Amino acid sequence: MEKRFDPIQNKTADIIEYMMQSPDIPEDVSLNFKIRLCIEEAVENIVSYAYENGQGYVVVGTKIENNRLILSFRDEGVPFNPLDKPDPDITSSAEERPVGGLGIFICKQMMDKVTYVYEHHCNNLQMEMILNK
């Protein structure tokens, strides 16, 4: 299941709900919570930072392949690899940590695989979760 949202300005909730309504999303409550959190993080980052004033597009998708849920996000915004940032030091207090970077860290912890590639002038973020472990 794949859909393009254009423009993305003020569409964060619509994009998240579209993905969460996919028949590929498991109904298990604990998995559903983790998946929603990761989708929210990816979508919020794209809507907030990929394009000036949200004047661009994102193509989002969900699919099941080899017992894996695959979430995909593609945009032509500013090239940005969220995996390049070092993981935050979660042993220090919130006041001592710099702002940002916690969301993708959480995604990397909750998902089995998170990948990024910039190709054909597009950011491509993919998150995978093994189902029925």
Q: How many CB atoms lie within 10 A of CB 100?
A: 10
pLDDT more than 90, % of the chain: 74
Instruction: Tell me the average pLDDT across 6-32.
Output: 95
For the full predicted model, state whether its pTM sits above 0.75. Answer: yes
Q: What is the per-residue pLDDT for 12?
A: 94
How far apart CA 67 and CA 81 sit, in angstroms, is 26
Question: Domain locations in the chain?
Answer: 2-130
Q: What is the per-residue pLDDT for 52?
A: 85
Q: How many CB atoms lie within 10 A of CB 106?
A: 15
Q: Is the model's pLDDT at 61 over the cut of 80?
A: yes
Q: What is the per-residue pLDDT for 117?
A: 98
Confidence label for 127 from pLDDT (cuts 50, 70 and 90): very high
E strands within the chain?
2-5, 58-65, 68-75, 113-119, 122-130
Write the DSSP assignment of 52-86 as a string of letters. Answer: GGG-S-EEEEEEEETTEEEEEEEE-SS---GGGSP
Rg, C-alpha atoms of the chain: 15
CATH classification for the domain delimited by 2-130, as one of 3.40.50.620, 2.60.40.180, 3.30.565.10, 3.40.50.300: 3.30.565.10
In the beta sheet, which residues pair with residue 61?
2, 72
